[in-house]
Amino acid sequence: MRTSRSARAGGSAEPLREVRVAALVVGGRAADMAPSGSLRIPVAVLLLLLWGAPWTHGRRSDVRIITDENWRELLEGEWMIEFYAPWCPACQNLQPEWESFAEWGEDLEVNVAKVDVTEQPGLSGRFIISALPTVYHCKNGEFRRYQGPRTKKDFINFISEKEWKSIEPVSSWVGPGSVLMSSMSALFQLSMWIRTYHNYFIEDLGLPVWGSYTVFGLATLLSGLLLGLCMIFVADCLCPSKRRRPQPYPSKKLLLESSQPLKKVEEEQEADEEDVSEEEPESKEGINTDFAQNAIRQRSVSPSLATDKSS
């Protein structure tokens, strides 16, 4: 994962060798064609070309580029990652210091990387980037936000003296590899996708703004309907509903058997009503006879009371 300085220089060894050979060939031809007294100036020029050739080739940067495809490389080893945007003035001021710090990456055994949030919105959501530039330190999958001075010397001391141990790591449930942050990354990518197609509809296809909004509104409704149907289908497969069996149609035999108890109940009710109607006159007659007997007794008692008073 780390690239040595000799290996980085090896990529430009072949072009330098070709330049030097060409310079010697040209110098030899010039020496043959020029007078003996004028050899000093071409030789001096060739020496400058020969030794100045390494500086004519651009040196490859030691800073690695992290994208949505290779960000999981950060989970292994030790890393320092910068999140920046090309339009950010503070990010532009940090770039020389960051490049200088990256040259010490091999000696410090740390990988130095950067992320362009304008090109990688998913990583911006995954790492919750709310300010630019933002620097993270990662050691074997544990992420810590760097909040110290942003100079090469401070970066080197932060790694060499292991100052990162005094910083509380990011919680695992909000870490870049968690389900929550993966969902956040997908949301950021979706927003960038919508923005890209919105600009395409307006600028390339010439649709009005309300036309683009209408397209996205219809797409949202359609996707919601499809998602709802899929959820219903999955729920029905996982938890099927219990279907009630329809009751069989009763046969004539069952109807006759069920009607017989009803007839018996009706006959018993009629018999009870007749008994009640017969008991009512009897009770009335008994009341009348009792009343007559009481009247006769009162009449028989009254004459005896009268004879007692006369005596």
Q: Give yes or no: 237 in active site.
A: no
Burial of residue 121, with CB atoms counted within 10 A of its CB: 0-12 exposed, 13-18 middle, 19 or more buried: buried
Q: Phi and psi dihedrals of 251, rounded to 5? A: -85, 170
Check: CB of residue 135 under 8 Å from CB of residue 146.
Answer: yes
Distance CA 123, CA 84 (A): 11
Distance CA 123, CA 120 (A): 6
The structure tokens listed for 263 are 């007839």
Choice among 91, 138, 237, 239 that is catalytic:
91
Alpha helices in 109-166 (DSSP H): 121-126, 152-160
Check: CB of residue 101 under 8 Å from CB of residue 133.
Answer: no
What are the respective helix, strand and coil percentages of the chain, to the nearest 5?
65, 10, 25
Q: Give yes or no: 91 in active site.
A: yes
Choice among 88, 138, 237, 239 that is catalytic:
88
Catalytic residues: 88, 91
